[in-house]
Amino acid sequence: MKVIIAGAGRLGTQIAQVLGGTGNQVTLLDQDDDRVAALQDGLPAEVRTGDACEPRVLEDAGAHAADLVVATTGEDEDNLVVSLLAKRQFKVPRVIARVNDDDNAWLFTQHWGVDTAVPAAAPLVSLVEEATSASDTVALLRLSKAGVNVIETTIGPRSRAAGSVLGELAVPPGIVVAAVVRGGDPMTPAPDLELREGDEILVLSHTATEGEVHAVFQ
């Protein structure tokens, strides 16, 4: 599946990490040169500088062949423009847009090219599951074709894993740590990475339950 994500903030980078890590072709767009440079080597996605509200930028990113566009910028106006361009000009089959201000939710309809509007308060899992399950290619919580579960957990103040090195945790066989997100930035889950309170952990597994994952990190 070819995916274009507009906005390389916390949400956009997390979605790129999850979708890129499950074999999808992902392009992440953002106007901030510094942010793009910082993400270049840390994501399983192509990260580009550009304003996704400009048709040329979307075209260069491959919008004509995209299966899914996800608008996750912090501005509702931008998310609506991206959605409208994706649907009307590039005929993208599936467009998901984040609603930052609940008062604007009424605008996020198919009239503006939005197939599904997701409130800003919705968790990452809900947004990506909506985006991917609707495409019949991948599902976040149950990657049906691969039989893989994706589980998200956060290191809390009482978590035993806080202060521990990732490689020293007793992670059961069959569980793979796909990403560690710290302060909104995805990090490579290297064995020598010391986990901190507030870290968000994304785990892939064929067999593990949510309880088993929490037992490792909580």
- Considering only residues 21 and 32, tell me which one the structure prediction assigns the higher pLDDT: 32
Same domain, 206 and 123: no
Q: Is residue 139 part of a domain?
A: no
Same domain, 23 and 77: yes
Please list the residues that pair with 197 across neighbouring strands.
Answer: none
134-179 residue pLDDT tens: 433 333 444 434 455 677 788 888 888 888 898 888 887 777 787 7
Structural domain harbouring 178? 149-217
The answer on pLDDT for 194 being more than 50 is: yes
What total number of domains does the chain contain?
A: 2
Q: At 198, is the pLDDT very low, low, confident or very high (cuts 50, 70, 90)?
A: confident
The CA distance from 199 to 182, in Å, is 5
What share of the chain has pLDDT > 90, as a percent?
Answer: 40
The CA distance from 210 to 143, in Å, is 15
The CA distance from 27 to 2, in Å, is 8
Q: Is residue 178 part of a domain?
A: yes
Model confidence pTM above 0.95: no
What sections of the chain are H helices per DSSP? 10-21, 33-39, 55-60, 76-84, 124-133, 210-217
The CA distance from 27 to 10, in Å, is 15
